[in-house]
């Protein structure tokens, strides 16, 4: 026993050492010269650009296509594309930045842009956009969401917003009139609540209304949908100059939004404190909210649950205002990159006029460019027209400030405390304001 | 009569505990044979809740046949790293523990205290300095970075120190008298008595490495060098969670650990009782 164990150890050590030494040389260099063809020309040098993005299969496929076409067109540039599990994407990026070892190009969600820009981890792209970026073609809320201190720091892959999904069969069974498909005639909170009361069926485990796509999730998905409630009620999260949330997030309008939210989960009990997986698609939730990516998710995972017969979409609900949160992922170039010009070529390839069309075709995400909207007739038809029109008329980006991580967390916890925990509205708002103020103060240091 | 009743009650309680412990595993394995649509469909007590309606191997096909995420490769990577760290760790930690337990040298108490106090530092705090160190050694994106920093394990040393300090000094002195060096005493006398403890530590180290997630995520930048836990986490993306794939991947990834444990369980239990009871 003992001898064979020792032998095993010895073998493992030997193999291990060999493997380690053969691997240790392949650490990521950004630049490897192979210029033997066109002698002496700087263009002949092969540039390798590293590009990190969160892992999401349908979008990764689209990127791989765009990378392949880009490399074909630019034989001297290679893209080293790394997908990182979404869960820890920020951890990985921030560690690499702290270590001075970031990729050349990184994907980011719009509101995190300001904190990276503020640390000068990413570079402004205005000069590039002026040269060949077709900035005029980008939608206004998109530019707004990617601009910090007057400069644009990222190029958008697409735009995003959320609309209402409803289980058509359940509506018909209960004889509830279907909501309008016109974005100017969105249902009010009270109309939705009224329908939800009728649809609610605890004995069958059916909830009337899940006002947030993933329930009380621990990620950006929750505040994304929750912020809309505040804005719809007429509240703001920050002052217009983004320096304080005092007097804005604790306003009467915010209190109204939170009181309504509280009632959904605690007195009306139409909303699930614990959202079952795929609740809407399994018929456990009657009214739901989701992005355009939901359609491909349904086709892939719930092919028998069909639009038109089982479910339909309508504009998001409204209160005093009609507002839908916007913002999605873009691509930024890090300040450590030794090849920003080549990096821009790639970014512009993916996010430019032609790249955006490929991106839309592959991912069916809401475009960030007018030219893409103009080239696809289906974007003017149901269901995509609801997203498109709501975006154009009622879109509202999340605040662009370096303190956004604190804001996102404060909003998420605020809605959790009030919804899940049935906490006092005034106290919870005060707590959220304090958290945001602390976050802003930290940035000022 | 009374005794029989006791046996029955005891059996029932033990079965109940076993069911509680095993049901999640059963559910995981069964879910891995379901389609995504089916996993969360059945919520009431019915046969469908316990058995897949439409058995499918699709989830396993999906994870093993995806060329952009070679799951088999990730398993081999993790197996290699875990086995290597376990092997090196056992040697290094056992020697360190022996030195702390039995040798006399200056500042021993102080050194041991400093060592032990590092147990209270949360990993997140040392992660970035450790990353910077790896970068300066240009070990980023290599298995070396996964292996070397993990070899010395303070908890392992602590556990073995407890164990070695129970070895009577007289035996060591007898060895010295017969002319054996410390290395020989360590190898021929101390280590053979410590086999259960070593196996216990070995299983724990292996399991730790098999489950490691954050560190590989941060230092490895290349898909084909990634480890299994990071791959499993990648099935959970921003907008959806591929539960079928996660269930299949976790089912597969528990196999090596279960096998290892089944074979070495005898020693594992022995190791725990020995280090606990003696003293």
Interchain CB contact of A205 with B (< 8 Å): yes
- Residue A235 and residue A97 share a domain: no
Question: Residues of B with CB below 8 A from A302's CB?
Answer: 37
If you search the block for the tokens 């029989």, which residue do you land on?
A: B4
Q: What DSSP state is assigned to residue A185?
A: G
Question: In this structure, are A227 and A82 located in the same domain?
Answer: no
d(CA A427, nearest CA chain B) in Å: 31
- Indicate whether A14 pLDDT > 90: no
pLDDT tens-digit series, residues A135-181: 999 998 899 999 999 999 999 999 999 999 999 999 999 999 999 99
Radius of gyration in angstroms for the set of CA atoms belonging to chain B, rounded to a whole number: 24
Tokens of B51: 């058995």
Question: Where is pLDDT greater, at A36 or A234?
Answer: A234
Residues A360, A276, single domain; the answer is no
- Among B121, B99, B84, CA closest to B202: B84
Summarised one tens digit per residue, pLDDT across range B102-135 is 888 999 999 999 988 988 988 888 888 999 999 9
Q: Is residue A27 part of a domain?
A: no
The answer to whether residues A241 and A406 touch, using CB atoms and an 8 Å cutoff, is no
Q: E-strand spans in A298-378?
A: 311-314, 324-326, 329-333
Residue A207 lies in a domain: yes
Taking CB atoms and an 8 Å cutoff, what residues of chain A touch B141? Answer: 26-28
Alpha-carbon gap, residue A378 to A374, rounded angstroms: 10
For residue B269, the model assigns a pLDDT of: 64
Query: How far apart (Å, rounded) are the C-alpha atoms in residues B69 and B168?
Result: 53
Structure tokens of A354?
Answer: 């032609």
**Which of A61, A278, A284 is most worth mutating to test chain B (most B CB atoms within 10 A of its CB)?**
A278
Distance from CA of A240 to the nearest CA of B (A): 30
In three-state secondary structure terms, A51 is strand
Q: Scanning every residue of chain A, which has its alpha carbon at the shortest distance from the alpha carbon of B69?
A: A83
Is A4 inside a domain boundary? no
Say whether residue A83 is in contact with chain B using an 8 A CB cutoff.
yes
**Total domain count, chain A:** 2
Interface of A with B in 387-406 (CB under 8 A): none
The bridge status of strand A163-167 relative to strand A285-290 is: antiparallel
Q: What are phi and psi for residue A119, nearest 5 degrees? A: -85, 5
CB A289 within 8 A of CB A163: yes
* Chain B residue with the nearest C-alpha to that of A57: B237
Nearest CA in chain B to A98: B128
Average pLDDT on A426-439 reads 96
pLDDT tens track for A95-138: 999 888 899 999 999 889 999 999 999 999 999 999 999 999 99
Q: Which residue has the tokens 């993933």?
A: A214
A278 touches B: beta carbon within 8 Å? yes
Give the Cα separation of A60 and A64 in Å (integer).
6
Query: Which one has a higher pLDDT value, A14 or A213?
Result: A213
Q: Is residue B216 part of a domain?
A: yes
Q: Per-residue pLDDT for A38 more than 60?
A: no
The CB-based long-range contact list for A43-47 (8 Å cut-off, 24+ gap) reads: A43/A76, A44/A76, A45/A76, A46/A76, A46/A77, A46/A78, A47/A76, A47/A77, A47/A78, A47/A339, A47/A342
Q: Tell me whether residue B181 is in a domain.
A: yes
Residue A26 pLDDT more than 50? no
CB count, 10 Å around CB of A232? 25
Same domain as A338, residue A428: no
* Domain around A306: 163-326+402-443
Q: Which of B45, B66, B221 is the best mutation test for A, with the most CBs of A within 10 A?
A: B221
Residues 6+ apart with CB under 8 A from A284: A205, A206, A207, A272, A276, B43
Whether residue A20 is contained in a domain is answered as no
Name the β-bridge partners of A49: A79
Of A27, A297, A304, the CB nearest to B240: A297
Report yes or no on A127 lying in a domain. yes
Report how far residue B75's alpha carbon sits from residue A422's, in angstroms, rounded to the nearest whole number.
45
The Cα–Cα gap between B24 and B28 comes to 6
Residue A120 lies in a domain: yes
Number of structural domains (chain B) is: 1
Residues A331 and A319 in one domain: no
Please, which pLDDT band fits residue A21 given cuts at 50, 70 and 90?
very low
Cβ <8 Å between B218 and A92: yes
Q: Does A28 contact B142 at a Cβ distance shorter than 8 Å?
A: no
* B24 domain residue, yes or no: no
CA proximity to A17, closest of B57, B142, B15: B142
- Asked if residue A233 lies in contact with residue A310, where contact means CB atoms within 8 angstroms, the answer is no
Lookup result for tokens 């209402």:
A164
Distance CA A290, CA A275 (A): 14
Residue A311: pLDDT over 80: yes
- Verify cis geometry, omega within 30 degrees of 0, for the bond prior to A383: yes
Of A88, A278, A297, Cβ closest to residue B214: A88
The answer to whether the Cβ–Cβ distance between B238 and A219 falls below 8 Å is yes
**Hey, which residues 18-57 in chain A have their CB within 8 Å of chain B?**
19-20, 23-24, 26-28, 50, 54-57
Q: Evaluate whether residue A317 is within a structural domain.
A: yes
Which pLDDT tens digit goes with each residue over A76-100? Answer: 999 999 999 988 898 899 999 988 8
DSSP-assigned states of every residue in B40-66: TT--SSSHHHHS-SS---HHHHHHHH-
- pLDDT of the residue at A39: 41
Q: Are residues A190 and A277 in the same domain?
A: yes
Q: If you count residue pairs, one on A and one on B, with CB atoms under 8 Å apart, how many are there?
A: 123
Alpha helices in A162-267 (DSSP H): 168-173, 189-199, 221-233, 252-266
Cβ-in-10-Å burial (0-12, 13-18, 19+) of A29 comes to exposed
Domain range for B217 is: 57-275
For chain B, say whether A219 makes contact (Cβ under 8 Å). Answer: yes
| Nearest of A306, A52, A293, A5 to residue A169 by alpha carbon | A306
φ and ψ at residue B195, rounded to 5 degrees: -55, -45
pTM of the shown model: 0.83
Q: In terms of domains, do A312 and A331 share one?
A: no
Q: Is B90 on the interface with A (CB under 8 A)?
A: yes
Per-residue pLDDT of chain B (279 residues; tens, 9 = 90+): 678 899 999 999 999 999 999 999 999 999 999 988 888 878 778 888 888 988 999 999 989 998 888 999 999 999 999 999 999 999 999 999 999 998 889 999 999 999 889 889 888 888 889 999 999 999 999 999 999 999 999 999 999 998 888 888 888 888 888 888 888 999 888 888 888 889 989 999 999 999 999 999 999 998 889 999 999 998 888 777 888 999 999 999 999 988 988 888 877 766 555 554 443
Cross-chain Cβ contact B239/A20 below 8 Å: no
pLDDT average, residue stretch A347-366: 94
Q: Is B43 part of any domain? A: no
List, in order, residues 6 or more apart from A198 with CB less than 8 Å away. A174, A176, A208
Contacts of B37 in chain A (CB under 8 A): 281, 301-302, 304
CA A269 to chain centre: 29
Q: What are phi and psi of A163, to 5 degrees?
A: -130, 175
**The predicted structure's pLDDT at residue B271:** 57
What are the tens digits of pLDDT across the range A284-302? 999 999 999 899 889 988 9
pLDDT higher than threshold 70 for residue A24: no
Task: Report yes or no on A111 lying in a domain.
Answer: yes
Query: What CATH number is given to the structural domain containing A76?
Result: 3.40.190.10
Q: How far is CA B50 from the centre of its chain?
A: 29
Same domain membership, residue A180 and residue A154 = no
Residues 84-113 of A with CB under 8 A from B: 84-88, 91-92, 95-96, 98-101
- pLDDT value at residue B272: 57
Q: Which of A9, A282, A302 is the closest to B87 by Cβ? A: A9
Where does residue A326 fall: left (phi above 0), alpha (psi -120 to 50 degrees), or beta otherwise?
beta
A47-54 and A105-109 as β-strands: parallel, antiparallel, unpaired? parallel
* Model confidence pLDDT, tens digit, residues A185-234: 999 999 999 999 999 998 888 999 999 998 898 888 899 999 999 999 99
- What's the confidence (pLDDT) of residue B36? 84
Contact state of A86 with B127 under an 8 Å Cβ cutoff:
no
Q: HSE of B238 in the Cβ direction (CA atoms, 13 Å)? A: 24
Q: From chain B, pick out residues whose CB is under 8 angstroms from the CB of A4.
A: none
Tell me which chain A residues have a C-beta less than 8 angstroms from the C-beta of B36: 301
For residue B217, being part of any structural domain is answered with: yes
Mean pLDDT of chain A: 88
The CATH number of whichever domain residue B199 belongs to comes to 1.10.3720.10
Q: Tokens at residue A246, please?
A: 């005092």
Domain boundary among A397, A414, A431: A397
Closest residue in B to A14 (Cα) is B84
Distant-in-sequence, close-in-space partners of B84: CB < 8 Å, separation ≥ 6:
A12, A13, A16, B143, B147
- Are residue A203 and residue A351 in the same domain, yes or no? no
Q: Do residue B234 and residue A55 have CB atoms under 8 angstroms apart?
A: yes
Q: How distant, in Å, are the alpha carbons of A42, A54, A146, B56, B62 from that of A336? A: 21, 20, 20, 48, 37
**Least CB-CB distance to A24: which of B41, B127, B144?**
B144
The pLDDT tens digits for A252-264 are 999 999 999 999 9
Say which of B87, B141, B221 has its CB closest to residue A12.
B87
Residue A9 has a pLDDT of: 42
Q: Report d(CA A248, CA A379) in Å as an integer.
A: 36
| A272 and A144 within one domain | no
d(CA B145, CA B130): 10
């Amino acid at each position: 026993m003992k001898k064979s164990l020792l032998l095993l150890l010895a073998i493992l050590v030997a193999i291990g050492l060999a493997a380690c030494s053969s691997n240790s040389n392949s650490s990521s260099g950004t630049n490897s010269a192979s210029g033997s063809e066109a002698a002496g020309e700087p263009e002949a040098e092969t540039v390798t650009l590293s590009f990190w993005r969160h892992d999401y299969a349908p979008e990764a496929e689209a990127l791989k296509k765009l990378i392949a076409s880009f490399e074909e067109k630019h034989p001297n540039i290679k893209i080293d594309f790394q997908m990182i599990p979404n869960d820890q994407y920020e951890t990985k990026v921030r560690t690499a930045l702290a270590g001075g070892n970031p990729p050349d190009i990184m994907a980011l969600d719009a509101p995190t842009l300001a904190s990276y820009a503020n640390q000068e981890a990413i570079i402004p792209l205005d000069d590039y956009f002026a040269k060949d970026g077709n900035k005029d073609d980008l939608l206004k809320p998109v530019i707004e969401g990617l601009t910090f201190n007057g400069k644009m720091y990222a190029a958008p892959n697409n735009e995003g917003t959320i609309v209402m999904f409803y289980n058509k069969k359940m509506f018909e069974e209960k004889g509830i009139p279907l909501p309008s498909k016109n974005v100017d005639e969105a249902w009010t909170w009270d109309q939705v609540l009224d329908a939800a009361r009728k649809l609610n069926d605890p004995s069958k485990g059916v909830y009337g209304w899940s006002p947030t796509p993933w329930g009380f999730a621990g990620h950006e998905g929750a505040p994304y949908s929750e912020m809309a409630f505040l804005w719809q009620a007429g509240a703001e999260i920050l002052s217009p100059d983004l320096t304080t949330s005092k007097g804005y997030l604790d306003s009467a309008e915010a209190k109204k939004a939170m009181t309504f939210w509280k009632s959904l989960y605690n007195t009306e009990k139409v909303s699930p404190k614990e959202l079952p997986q795929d609740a809407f698609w399994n018929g456990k939730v009657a009214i739901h909210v989701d992005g355009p990516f939901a359609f491909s998710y349904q086709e892939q995972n719930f092919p028998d649950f069909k639009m038109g017969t089982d479910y339909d979409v309508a504009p998001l609900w409204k209160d005093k205002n009609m507002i839908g949160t916007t913002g999605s992922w873009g691509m930024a170039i890090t300040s450590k990159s030794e090849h920003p010009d080549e990096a821009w070529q790639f970014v512009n390839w993916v996010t430019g006029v032609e790249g955006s069309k490929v991106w839309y075709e592959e991912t069916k995400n809401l475009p960030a460019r007018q030219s893409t909207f103009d080239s696809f007739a289906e974007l003017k038809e149901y269901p995509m027209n609801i997203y498109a029109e709501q975006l154009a008329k009622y879109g509202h980006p999340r605040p662009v400030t370096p303190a956004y991580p604190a804001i996102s967390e404060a909003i998420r916890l605020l809605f959790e405390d009030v919804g899940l925990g049935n906490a006092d509205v005034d106290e919870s708002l005060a707590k959220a304001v304090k958290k945001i103020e602390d976050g802003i103060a930290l940035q000022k240091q | 009569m009374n005794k029989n009743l006791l046996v029955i009650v005891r059996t029932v309680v033990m079965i109940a505990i076993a069911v509680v412990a095993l049901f999640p595993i059963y559910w995981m394995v069964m879910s891995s044979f379901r389609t995504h649509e089916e996993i969360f469909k059945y919520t009431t007590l019915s046969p469908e809740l316990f058995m897949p309606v439409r058995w499918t191997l699709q989830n396993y096909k999906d994870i093993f046949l995806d060329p952009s995420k070679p799951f088999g490769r990730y398993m081999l990577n993790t197996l290699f790293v875990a086995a290597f760290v376990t092997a090196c760790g056992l040697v290094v930690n056992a020697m360190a523990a022996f030195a702390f337990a039995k040798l006399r040298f200056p500042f021993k108490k102080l050194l041991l205290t400093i060592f032990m106090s590092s147990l209270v530092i949360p990993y997140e705090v040392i992660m970035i300095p450790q990353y910077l160190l790896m970068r300066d050694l240009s070990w980023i994106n290599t298995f070396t970075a996964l292996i070397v920093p993990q070899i010395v394990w303070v908890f392992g040393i602590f556990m073995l120190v407890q164990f070695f300090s129970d070895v009577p000094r007289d035996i060591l002195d007898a060895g010295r008298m017969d002319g054996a060096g410390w290395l020989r005493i360590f190898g021929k006398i101390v280590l053979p008595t410590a086999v259960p403890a070593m196996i216990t530590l070995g299983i724990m180290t292996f399991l730790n490495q098999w489950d490691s997630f954050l560190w590989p995520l941060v230092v490895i930048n290349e898909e084909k060098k990634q480890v299994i836990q990071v791959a499993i986490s990648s099935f959970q993306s921003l907008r959806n969670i591929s539960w079928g794939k996660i269930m299949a991947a976790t089912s597969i990834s528990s196999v090596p650990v279960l096998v290892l444990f089944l074979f070495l369980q005898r020693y594992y239990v022995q190791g725990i009782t020995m280090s606990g009871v003696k003293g």
